[in-house]
Structures are given as C-alpha cells and as structure tokens.
Amino acid sequence: MMEKTILIRNIRTPFEETIVLKGWLHNIRISGKIAFLILRDGTGYIQCVLSKSAVGDESFEKYTKISQESSIQVYGTIREDKRSPIGFEMDVQKIDIIQQAEDYPISLKEHGVGFLSNIRHLWLRSPKQRALLVIRDLVALKIREFLHNEGFTCIDSPILTGSAAEGTTTLFELDYFGEKAFLSQTGQLYQEAAAMAFGRTYCFGPTFRAEKSKTRRHLTEFWMVEPEIAYCDFEENMAIQERMILFLIHSCLELAGTELKTLERDLSPLTKIKAPFPRVKYEEILQILNQHDRGKQWGDDITGLDETIISNEFEQPVFITHFPVESKAFYMKADPTDPRVVLAADLMAPEGYGEIIGGSQRIDSLEDLLTKMNQYGLKQEDYQWYIDLRRFGSVPHSGYGMGLERFVGWMGGIEHIREAIPFPRTIEKIYP
RNA sequence: UCCCCGAUAGCUCAAUGGCAGAGCGGCUGGCUGUUAACCAGUAGGUUGGGGGUUCGAGCCCCUCUCGGGGAGCCA
C-alpha cells in the first residue's frame, strides 16, 4: 500500500491510518526502551515516539542509531498529545533511512557567529534561522500584496547599469563587453520613468553597495523595495509608508506568531505601534542629540550611533524630515518655504534598529534639476533619459526605498541583519 | 582605510610566567515520557603562523594571517 505523505504544518487532526513524514532528524533522546525523535521537514517540527515494544528489538536498535540531520521517512500514526508544542505526536511503526548523516557540526548548544557563518548552508536548518527566513518570505509577500492593493504595478529596474545614480565610489564595477558597467545601488531613477508611465510603481530586488561598512546594519548585497508615486507630495509619501509599515507589522503578528515565538521576540514593542508616526525635523533631531551630548551642528550627519539614540528615544517609528540640501541626493526637491532643506524623510525604527526607509519628493522642474545636477558635477549626457522625464509631462512625484533585511531584522528582534538574508554578503564574506 | 576586541579539543569557553582543563558533541554502557533529557565511562591538543624575552611562554614583546565589533557611508 502507498501511505499518504503529510507535511508537518498540515497536521491539525489525528491520523489513525498510517501516514509518512519525510524530513530530517533534528534531535533524538533515548531512554532505554523508548526513544523520542524530533523530526523536521522544513514546515515544522514533530516528536515521533519510538517504543521497543511497537517496532521490535532489531528495528529499535537500528533506529536509535540514526544520527542528527540524517534524512529519514517515518511511518506511523498521529495522535493528539497535550505535552506536544504542536499538540500532536507520531507513534512510529517504521523508518526508512535515506541517508545516515556524518557527524553534524551544529549541536543544539551555543555556537559563535563566525563558525556558523562559515557553514551558513547548514545553519539555515536551525529553528531560529528558519523562523527568520519564513518571516522574510512573509514580509516580501505582504509588501507586494500591500502595494498591489494600493494600485502599484511592479516594474523591475535593471540590475546592470551604465551610469551611477549617486556617485561611483560605492558601486561594484564590472566589465560589460569592454565597457564599464555597475551593479545597481538603487532602482529609483528607473522607477521615476516607470511612474510616469504607470502612475504608481515599485521595484523589489537586490541592490549592491561596495561600501566598506562593517556594522550590524550593513550588507554589500541586500534587497530593497522602491515604490515611486506620480502626483504625490512629501506628506502623502509618508502616509503611504506609514500604512505599509503598519500592514506589515500586523501581518507578522497575525501570521508569524509561531516564528516570532521561536525567535523569542518580545511582542509588546510591536503591538504598541500605531499611526501617526512622529514627524521630527532634522533641526529638532539635532537638539535631541545634543541633549545626549552629541555636539551636533547644522550640516552634521546623523550617524549610526545617532540613529540608535533616536530610535531608543521614541516608542514609535519616527520620520526625520527636512535634511540639509547638501547632505542628500541630487534628485530631491528643495522645500519651497526653506531652501536650505529638502523634502526628504528617513524612517527610524524603534528599539535601536535605526533607519529602515529613506524617501523624498523628487525635483519635477527641468530647470531645477539641471541646476542641481550641475552643482553635483553630474554630466547631462549620462542622464539624458532621466532629464527627459521633466520635459514630457513632468508632475510632482515622490518615492521611498525600504531595506528588506533591516525591516525583517527589526521584526525578528535580531542583533545583526546578516541573519535576515539566506546567504549574506558582507565586506569580507562571499562564501558560502 | 582607521580604531577596539579576539584566536586553546569538532563546538562554547577556562587555565598568577611553573603538570593543558570543563561543558556540549563523538564513541561505549544504563534508563518506557523525554523536551538543549539525564547518569556512568572513554577517546580527543604542533594553544592560528613566524620571530623574540625568560631557567621556563597558552600567558609578556614584535610581526603576519584570520575572525568579531565599531567609525566613515548608507537601506
């Protein structure tokens, strides 16, 4: 007979007939004539109870020698059990050993991050890593769902680009049939073109920064979602971001409870979050920082440490707005009421997580754009297509970029965002 | 590129300049309700590489390599 294969996540009722679970051995505890095998199949964990009286001496001997992470198919029945974290256990009748694993390097005890990073291909199997990457998948799905429901069309920007969007020092350069090309550090400029065609657009994919940053919030390859909205001003831009963040938080709380629990995430800071998020001008932020003896003057950057201070100061995410013109990218629109500042806003997540979104209203006047490009030393011929957008039906428009790993890292409450991407690339890690 | 910290058993870590150790993992045995199970036994080491000081270096000094954290920059 052919037994039915069941995914652990789909076990919601007992099965009196024999079924089969296909997975890997996470852990085994042997107590004389009874053994407890924790099986994982990628969708969940279940304890399989193996008793000598049920399978016989010979099988019991064989099955209790299965090593951690061996691939196995377990046949048996499913029974409710109040002692189980998922409410069910399997009574084992038979086990097929697909491959007996060699000594597995990751034990159930603690390990250092350097060791684990070198075996990331195996580390992915650990419960917390699984939980975090499941949340990543959920967040990515819900970003698309949110934007789709708000009338956005996904128009992917190219990853290979011929010219720099924001200076060349932080770009990965490569040879493109004898010409210089770069890995994209933002898809934004292309989204501005797309938004003029589709109204509301976004791109969502990998971006690359050759910055030699060695911090808990930096990767050289990371995923970014970049919405761009035609006929949208600075204020409406923030309102959309606010709605998106709330939707994503609520989605995680509602749909990823198991994973958040696995990560031992304290949920109270997340459940407290509600709109509207505070909007605080750069100038006022400087004052707050100076109350912490940061000695800030007009024009100074908000550094990583400053971000941590700010994001600990508020329980809610905070928009920092109205940055000095010189500190921001060339395409940002100056505030008509205060030309010293641009209509830009960075969103700081609370709990010390810092910046997760950078956004702005873009320059829509041809004249202003050309002036600004000139000031930033950008050649018009490299950006002719971009300039064109101000010549053929230019409109007020705004957009933002959110770093997926930073958001996921915040949701998961983790220390370092390298765990929020399956195979992180950092300044000194490109393997595995 | 710069600053700080680190490298000892497969892993996580101890060891006043004086015999290199523990827990986990491995292996052997015990236990029919374990939850990172527990108990007993056992194997496991060129203390990251090179040089120096010293009667004597895991420990002090120099240097290199690698790893971690941070600065600058950014999502």
Give the CA-trace dihedral at A237, A344, A409, A192, to 10 degrees. Answer: 60
pLDDT at A297: 85
Spatial distance between the Cα atoms of A140 and A159, rounded to a whole number of angstroms? 19
Asked if A412 and A135 touch (Cβ cutoff 8 Å), the reply is yes
pLDDT at A166: 53
Kindly list the structural domains of chain A, giving each domain's residue range(s) and its CATH number in brackets, ordered by start. 4-99 (2.40.50.140), 120-420 (3.30.930.10)
Mean pLDDT for the stretch of residues A145-153: 98
- Say if residue A428's pLDDT is above 80: no
pLDDT in tens, A176-214: 898 888 889 899 999 999 999 999 999 999 999 887 777
Give every strand in the sheet of A160-161, ordered side by side: A160-161, A179-183, A173-176
The reply to whether the CB atom of residue A170 sits less than 7 A from any atom in nucleic acid chain B is yes
- Say if residue A1's pLDDT is above 80: no
The reply to whether the CB atom of residue A70 sits less than 7 A from any atom in nucleic acid chain B is no
Mean pLDDT for the stretch of residues A108-135: 90
pLDDT in tens, A329-374: 899 999 999 999 999 999 999 988 888 999 999 999 999 999 999 9
For the ranges A98-112, A215-229, A403-417, the lowest mean pLDDT is seen at A98-112
Instruction: Provide the pairing of β-strand A153-154 with A200-208.
Output: parallel
- Say if residue A168's pLDDT is above 70: no
Q: Which of A 100-139 have CB under 7 A of nucleic chain B?
A: 103-105, 107-115, 117
- Mean of pLDDT over chain A: 91
pLDDT bucket at A77, cuts 50 / 70 / 90: very high
Q: Which nucleotides of B are covered by protein (CB under 7 A)?
A: 1-2, 10-13, 23-27, 30-38, 66-75
For the ranges A70-84, A165-179, A181-195, A218-232, the lowest mean pLDDT is seen at A165-179
The reply to whether the CB atom of residue A49 sits less than 7 A from any atom in nucleic acid chain B is yes
Spatial distance between the Cα atoms of A129 and A117, rounded to a whole number of angstroms? 12
- Say if residue A167's pLDDT is above 70: no
Give the distance, in angstroms, between the CA of residue A423 and the centroid of all CA atoms in the same chain: 12
Spatial distance between the Cα atoms of A428 and A430, rounded to a whole number of angstroms? 7
pLDDT at A164: 56
CA of A118 to C1' of B43 (A): 27
- State the pTM of this model: 0.94
pLDDT at A303: 82
The reply to whether the CB atom of residue A295 sits less than 7 A from any atom in nucleic acid chain B is no
Spatial distance between the Cα atoms of A194 and A201, rounded to a whole number of angstroms? 6
pLDDT in tens, A231-263: 999 999 999 999 999 999 999 999 999 999 999
Asked if A225 and A404 touch (Cβ cutoff 8 Å), the reply is yes
The reply to whether the CB atom of residue A358 sits less than 7 A from any atom in nucleic acid chain B is yes
CA of A94 to C1' of B50 (A): 57
